[in-house]
Amino acid sequence: MTTQLATPAPVFGSETTYPIVDCDIHPMAPSTADFYPYLSSAWRQHFDERGIRTYARARDRYNHPADTQRLDAYPEDGGPAGSDPAMTIARHLDPFGISVALLLPQQPYGVTSWGDVDAASAFISATNDFFVEKWVGYDERYSLAVTVSPHDPAAAAAEIRRHADTPGVIAVQLLLMDRMLGDTWYDPIYEAACEAGLPIAMHQSGAEGCFTYSQGPAVGVPRSYGERHVVLTQVGAANVADMVVGGAFERFPELKVVMVEWGFSWLPSLSNRLDLFWQRDPSAALRIKKLPSEYIQKHFTFTTQPLDEVETQADRKALFSASGLSDMLLFSSDYPHYDTDDPRFVLQNKIPEELRAALCYQNAVGVFGPEILRAVA
């Protein structure tokens, strides 16, 4: 393991220093062959014969007009962007003083399109073991959200328990399928996550809006990558509402959910509408016992990227002024994607000064626990 204590860096144009927890970094393995040492011989033969789909988005329907990755994140000796842990440190963690990088691996996202439930669970387990060894084991600043398959809740729960005491594992990455998150289908997963003290991290897999078995934006199929990218926030908002109204937090009072890359500017409107709905017709949501907004403020956090671009100081103040929002936001960059938020620019110019400590690390400690700062000097 490379052990390098992260000393907080002044990134705010002053001497003020905070640890920075980046809650959305996407590591990659150089190739699917790198997962083979973590598979049984039977599963290696299975995948040799059938191949491995690691891409969830339907590229023939929503092809990116350029490249979904930063060009400077590709290793010089080849491989996917974000596949070299040393390069990620040199290009992202060190320059911006990132103290903790929450890893959300993308190669498991392809299993959302798989029909073989057992193969999906086996492959995901192998990817978790790879990233624990090759990334979390490489530098203590790396922390992992272990991925679980939505196809088989029992197997997913077992995977959570397998990693409950793994050093550096701080969350569970649950992939979306057709069932919304308030469905009791996911209860074994939520139970295991609460038992392990791990929050659920929800990130788009890329399948949303592409297939009949995946969730999509309202009304219909978007025309282009850009249009789809804009309206995907609807999927996030709908699942927040469904978890609340479906009573997930009454069944699991300790459950925490991190909504990654779904935006947050829609949150005040959603909370107000849900409260009004429940106040006027509580019999329509018998599984909840209090205002929906109270569940949202207690159980959800939201990452900052993609941060809405606002043109005036008044608009920026309004963006962050919703009740309780200061305790619900986590900084994220989405490295190494093409739309990575530059930490220095965003934290210095886009985040109000009074919220910076909360967004940089305080809220993250509240969600993931103080052990998340194990690499901070």
Q: Give 332's contacts (C-beta < 8 A, 6+ positions apart).
A: 22, 23, 24, 260, 261, 303, 304, 305, 341
> Between 3.40.50.720, 3.40.710.10, 3.20.20.140, 1.20.950.20, what CATH number should domain 20-373 receive?
3.20.20.140
Give the ranges where the chain is alpha helix by DSSP (H).
41-50, 85-88, 94-96, 117-131, 153-162, 187-196, 225-231, 233-245, 248-251, 267-280, 292-299, 313-319, 343-349, 356-357, 363-368
Domain boundaries, the chain: 20-373
Q: Please answer whether residues 287 and 246 qualify as being in contact, where contact means their C-beta atoms are separated by less than 8 angstroms.
A: yes
Name the pTM for this structure: 0.94
- Please report the pLDDT score of residue 377 as a whole number: 73
- Please report the pLDDT score of residue 9 as a whole number: 62
Q: List, for the chain, all residue ranges whose pLDDT scores fall below the cut of 50.
A: none
Cβ of 219: how many Cβ atoms within 10 Å? 8
* DSSP code for 69: B
Rounded distance, CA 124 to CA 227, Å?
30
- What is the token pair recorded at 32? 């699917």
Rounded distance, CA 206 to CA 210, Å?
8
Counts of helices then strands in the chain (DSSP H, E): 15, 8
- Please report the pLDDT score of residue 16 as a whole number: 64
- Please report the pLDDT score of residue 40 as a whole number: 98
- Please report the pLDDT score of residue 215 as a whole number: 83
Q: Give 173's contacts (C-beta < 8 A, 6+ positions apart).
A: 104, 105, 108, 145, 146, 147, 148, 201, 203
- Please report the pLDDT score of residue 229 as a whole number: 77
The 10s digit of each residue's pLDDT in 144-160 is 999 999 999 999 999 99
The 10s digit of each residue's pLDDT in 73-95 is 999 999 999 999 999 999 999 99
